[in-house]
Amino acid sequence: MLISSTVSAVKSGPRSPQVAREGNSDGLAGSTEATPAWADLGKLQYRPSELNGRLDALFARAARSANPVVASLEPVIRNAKFVKMDLEALKKQASQLTPEQLKPANWKFPHYIEEDSQRTMDFFMVANSINFLFFDPDSGEKYKTEFNGKEYTGADGMIAGLKRAMQEGVPVLDAAFLANVSREEMAHIFRGNFELPLLDERLAIFHEVGTVLQEKYQGHFSNLVEQSGGRAFDGGNGIVERLTQDFPSFRDTSPEGHVYNKRAQLAVGMLHSRLEDSGLFQCPDVGELTVFADYQLPRGLRNMGILQYDSQLAEKVDQGQKIPRDSQMEQEMRAFTIVAAELLREELHKNPEHAALDSRGLDSFLWLQARQDKNSKPHVTVTTAY
């Protein structure tokens, strides 16, 4: 199955392999029913020229990047079975986007910490340590909670729970508290319309975070940020690197070694957006971050026709069937999300208006586009990665 540039609006099942091969394709090959059409890399006739060249150049650059994510995903892309990419749809989308649409959020919302200080770093890092799965994987119902008379859903609900706890005098940014918090205390902090999913896993993460912070960072994530020099990547000393090395729960790598690092990268991106004008923190290599592959971004790219799923994967996603973590289906959705976003950013950079664009703004746009579409669903994977 080729990723066809001639199909620009398919949102469910793709064309059959035969039709795809006969099309005027500028997309990535991948079989949907059997062996990938170009699992044998010698079959260059099934690797259309433009996208092939763009991918080769992308992976060559990625091999020199301090961020290991994109380079590690090449095998997933090269041997795709269930997902394909439409380069023409990607170009069309790039031509329509404005700088205003691609502005990253500044994270100055009522349910976030109000002050800009060292505690702000602690707040964002603690929040991102448990920033995953905010819906019931069986029913699809979203987690909701109330804070200051307003209802917040999903990740916003979790953030609101932390802010509410702070107002109630619960020391949720204190490492000693995190290391010893009880399940009952966790359930109360994150009380809502139902128990926050994977509460036991979140409890274990808080215990890990509190313990490591006390052992290595004098009890505060802000010390980790300071010791990194503010860089995301720095030969093992960067923020993303320290998070994934020192806190096992932040590691987001498949058994095969494919790296995604959604939460660790997101923590850095959010801190930069929130604090870059405060003088407290600015990440000089923020441009090295990729988008933060979660449930919503593949959904947004699929809605735009940039990503297309084969019939098996489309059925699972559209019917809310569970897709196991680290399965080929799940990894292809995440890998294609990151790689398509890199190519989209590359295409946008051809326009001088978007010269300063990094992945934060693109991520915000894709996430909002997906959330606003009431006719599509995110995929369902039970995971602490996102």
pLDDT value of residue 7: 29
Q: Where is pLDDT greater, at 38 or 166?
A: 166
Decide if pLDDT at 232 tops 90. yes
Domain boundaries, the chain: 17-103+290-372, 118-288
Locus of tokens 């979203």: 142
Whether 27 shows a pLDDT value over 60: the answer reads no
* pLDDT, tens digit (0-9, with 9 covering 90-100), for 137-153: 999 999 999 999 999 99
DSSP SS3 for 81: coil
Asked if residue 47 has pLDDT above 70, the reply is no
Identify the pLDDT of residue 5.
33
State the burial class of residue 34 (Cβ atoms within 10 Å of its Cβ: 0-12, 13-18, 19+): exposed
294 is catalytic: yes
Write down the pTM of the prediction.
Answer: 0.88
Average confidence (pLDDT) over 102-107: 96
Q: Give me the catalytic one of 174, 294, 310, 363.
A: 294
**Averaged over 319-344, what is the pLDDT?**
98
The HSE-up count of residue 80 (CA atoms within 13 Å, CB side) is 29
Average pLDDT over residues 274-301: 97
Do 23 and 15 touch, CB atoms closer than 8 A?
yes
What are φ and ψ of residue 314, in 5° steps?
Answer: -60, -40
Q: How far is CA 385 from the centre of its chain?
A: 9
**Across the chain, what does the average pLDDT equal?**
89
Q: Is a pLDDT exceeding 80 seen at residue 227?
A: yes
